[in-house]
Chain A
Amino acid sequence: MKYILMMNTMRAGESVPNWPAKDLQAHIAFMLNLNKTLRESGELVSAEGLAFPDQARLVRAGKNGTPITDGVFPEGKEFLAGFWIVQVDTPERAYTIAARVSAAPGPGGVPLNMLIEVRQVMSGPPPEMS
């Protein structure tokens, strides 16, 4: 079963967090180490980080299908900061990995205990739609 673990931690207009450099470095080192562990266990499908929300655009097709872009989002909107796709045997294993991501260190090395959204990734459209 494939699951996506989504770190929806950013808000509109946000850029690099205002943490001391060593705390940022420790946070990234934790994530890189987690990726390495998941790669070694054969569970990592992909891990990606996204650009900050100040560069996000909302696009829709206008008349004639031309793109209409907008950079204004509602105040409360959650922005994806990064995600992992993992191949695991059970949803519980995906939750365990999500909890490890959740506990990544923040300022002062304290676990952030971030909320991580966990969703199953499907192999194709739902049967009722094909």
Chain B
Amino acid sequence: MKYILMMNAPRSGFEIYRAWPQEAAQAHFAVLNRINKELCESGEFVATSGLAWPAQAKVVRAGKDGEPVTDGVFPESKEFLAGYWMVDVESPERAYQIAARISAAPGPGGAPLNMPIEVRQVMSGPPEEFS
């Protein structure tokens, strides 16, 4: 079963993150890199990526004639994806365990952040009702 683990935060969360001391950021990424390495070794790793800052985010929809209409204004409360992992695991519980490890990645002072991670199953195709 494939799952996506999503690290979401409101814009304010990114501002706080950006203000971390460099050594805290390095320690944070070191833990995430170690998790990635372990997932590669266990064969559960599918993909991971970080996204550009929310200030560069755009929302696009088709206008008349299908041409793109872009906008960069989002509601204050909107959560932005900071990064994600895709894993291939035997059970949802295993996906939750991996999410908890990511959740506990250290912040400033080395304290676990215990940040919420959204866990969603990735489907192999459209739901039966659609085909």
User: Are B61 and A115 within 8 A (Cβ)?
Assistant: yes
User: Are A24 and B51 within 8 A (Cβ)?
Assistant: no
Q: Which of A97-130 contact B (CB under 8 A)?
A: 98-100, 102-103, 111, 113-122, 124-126, 128-130
User: Are A118 and B58 within 8 A (Cβ)?
Assistant: yes
Residues of A within 8 A of B77 (CB): 76
**Which secondary structure dominates chain A's binding surface?**
mixed
User: Are A60 and B52 within 8 A (Cβ)?
Assistant: no
Q: How large is the interface on B (under 10, 10 to 19, 20 to 34, 35 or more residues)?
A: 35 or more
Q: How large is the interface on A (under 10, 10 to 19, 20 to 34, 35 or more residues)?
A: 35 or more
Of A25, A51, A59, A60, most B-chain CB atoms within 10 Å: A59
User: Are A51 and B62 within 8 A (Cβ)?
Assistant: no
Given known A-B contacts A60-B115, A78-B78, A129 and B26 have beta carbons under 8 A apart: yes
User: Are B100 and A60 within 8 A (Cβ)?
Assistant: yes
User: Are A58 and B117 within 8 A (Cβ)?
Assistant: yes
User: Are A25 and B60 within 8 A (Cβ)?
Assistant: no
Residues of A within 8 A of B18 (CB): 128
Instruction: Give Cα distance in the complex from A120 to B56, angstroms.
Output: 8
Residues of A within 8 A of B25 (CB): 125, 128-130
Q: Which of A27-77 contact B (CB under 8 A)?
A: 27-28, 46, 48-52, 55-62, 65-69, 76-77
A-B contact pairs, 16 of them (CB 8 A): A5-B60, A25-B131, A48-B4, A48-B123, A57-B119, A59-B99, A61-B112, A65-B101, A67-B97, A77-B79, A100-B62, A115-B61, A122-B49, A126-B53, A128-B18, A129-B20
